[in-house]
A and B are shown apart, each in its own frame.
Chain A
Amino acid sequence: MRFWIAGTFAALALASLWLPQWMLFIMTVAIARGLVVLGLLLLLRAGLVSFGQALYYCIGAYSAGALGRFFGISDIFLEMLAGAVLAGATAFVLGFLLARYRGIFFGLLSLALSMILYGLLVKTEALGSTDGFNIARSTLFGARPDEDWVRYAVLVASAAVAALAALLVHRYLQTPLGRLAPAIKDNEIRVEYMGASARQAVHVKYVIAATLAGVGGALAATTVGHIDPEMAYWTSSGEFIFIAILAGTGNVLAPFAGALVYGAIHTMAYDLSPNTWQMSLGVSLLLLIVFLPEGLFGRLRFR
């Protein structure tokens, strides 16, 4: 499996040399979203549906933006790092509260927290309130690539980060703590009575998921070039959940593939009928749930 992970991203990076700019854009956004969903995968396996991953996605985005706006830094790796650190730290604190909850309470609480951020951002003039603000073109390790190469450079960087993230998560899922997820979902009482703290395990998973979302947010921000409070709105979390359902929780590459497919569906739906793209999305989601509950790639389970 490790070979597949590294190989897929390497092949992607290589193949992209020949791809048009708009495809590079789509793929980078898919990788960004995929990172968020990779985190969701960890939580979903434990039976926790977070309706608030947008919180960390947004924190990641605004961290990247703030780096540029207030410190003049536009290095992509630093942006991703900032996103990761700020999101992770926030999750560490909030996790003390959230890790106590399950099911619908967990979902609604995570939702509430992301909506709080939304509300705060909308009212913050210094960060552009509802308009948000733009982010400058990325640099890599101090080098400023030209116009034509920026997108490619960002893609390669993100592919590298995603590969690393996927490998780490894959490894994590093979450890006793990682394999605790379905146990927590099935029977927490048994988990406690075997000697483990379900709450601590959930806290750890929550922080990992948030960190991944933070990186994803930073990446998305720098790719799209613009950030705004909508990134923390509940519909943004809804998108990630959609992709997670689409991808299934079977393996660590699925979130990225799922994000790509989602991007394709979204674009096609929008092109076909701009006024009813939501409906197309809704219909797709419905069909998926009914006919493919394990997601498109759910069958390909890797240990």
Chain B
Amino acid sequence: MTAVLDAKGLCKSFGAVTAAAEVSAAIEKDSVVGLIGTNGAGKTTFINMVTGYLKPDRGEIRYEGRDITRLPPREITRLGICRSFQIPQLYGSLSVFDNMLVGLGIVLRNAGLAGYFSRGNVWDTRAVPGFERPAHEVAEHLLARFGLLADRARNAQVLPGGARKLLDIALTMAAKPRVLLLDEPTSGVSAAEKFGIMQMVLDGARAEGATVLFVEHDMEVVSRFAQRVLAFYDGRIIADAAPQAALQDPQVKRYVVGNRA
């Protein structure tokens, strides 16, 4: 198995709270993994550690064999590991379209100094790495894919919850992820749209050959889309199996999904 992401023995405590206790997981390339667990079980902490926002007290994380444990989020993003957020992280005072443009501007990494001296507008002339098209076009393409094109002129902070989630994911996609971590991608999205959104996101990610991990509370979404499930409880992984098996696991039933007939 080719483990694209390999976490070994991650431990993290905040004072008396243990957010992670010996968390280990090897993620295969091109797989789709669901992370489930109650609130406070350590799912977001796991994502925060993998993406460098938190440094584990002990343990290591390897990406394609390379140790990324101590790297800051921006370097991890540049390597191709990107994440979306539980609480959408947007540029509130900018319009939807500008959110994408500014995000793509960052992705246009080295255009900084070159952009200064180039003729014309760097947003129109330079091709965004990974998309090979200028920023304006990529922004429109991504917004269209997530159904946000109609809202392009609206201020990000006035968007309703579901739309904010989508914009958050769209921004994450702009960074061309090779490993995509989604933190509750469908929370705040109406029940009717959940499956559609997940399909849309996964299609887009898989088309680019990305590996996907997603945190979900809706077990129907998990059963439908995940190939493998990691169940968290109290900072530990209590089950690691295919969705059907994981959801039937007695520990998982006890601590995560509840016992239903």
Contacts and interface: CB of A to CB of B under 8 A. Distances in A.
A160 to B, nearest CB: 21
A81 interface: no
Contact of A176 (B51, B82, B89, B108): B108
Interface centre among B77, B92, B105, B111 (most CB of A within 10 A): B105
The A interface, classified by DSSP as helix, strand, loop or mixed, is helix
Interface string A171-189: 1101111011011011101
B112 interface: yes
B239 interface: no
Among B72, B91, B174, the one with the most A-chain Cβ atoms within 10 Å of its Cβ is: B91
A180 B174 CA distance: 16
A193 B51 contact: yes
Nearest to B84: A193
Contact of A195 (B101, B122, B175): B175
Contact of B74 (A174, A177, A192): A192
Contacts of A193: 51, 73-74, 77, 82-83, 89, 172, 175
Given A174-B121, A187-B91, A194-B171, 17 more contacts: A174-B122, A175-B111, A175-B112, A176-B122, A180-B102, A182-B91, A182-B93, A183-B94, A186-B92, A187-B89, A192-B73, A192-B77, A193-B82, A193-B83, A193-B175, A195-B74, A195-B77
Interface string A186-203: 110111111111000000
Contacts of B91: 182-183, 186-187, 190
Most chain B CB within a 10 A radius of its CB, from A175, A177, A179: A175
A176 B111 contact: yes
B106 interface: yes
18 contacts: A172-B116, A174-B121, A175-B111, A175-B115, A175-B116, A177-B115, A179-B102, A179-B105, A182-B91, A182-B94, A187-B90, A187-B91, A189-B53, A193-B172, A194-B107, A195-B78, A195-B109, A197-B74
Contacts of A185: 93
Contacts of B175: 193-195
A174 B75 CA distance: 25
Interface residues of A, number: 22
Interface in B118-137: 121-122
B56 interface: no
Given A193-B73, A193-B74, A195-B175, A176 B90 contact: no
A187 B89 CA distance: 7
B77 A194 contact: yes
B235 interface: no
Q: Considering the complex of A and B, which 3 residue pairs feature the smallest CB-CB distances, nearest first?
A: A176-B105, A194-B106, A175-B115
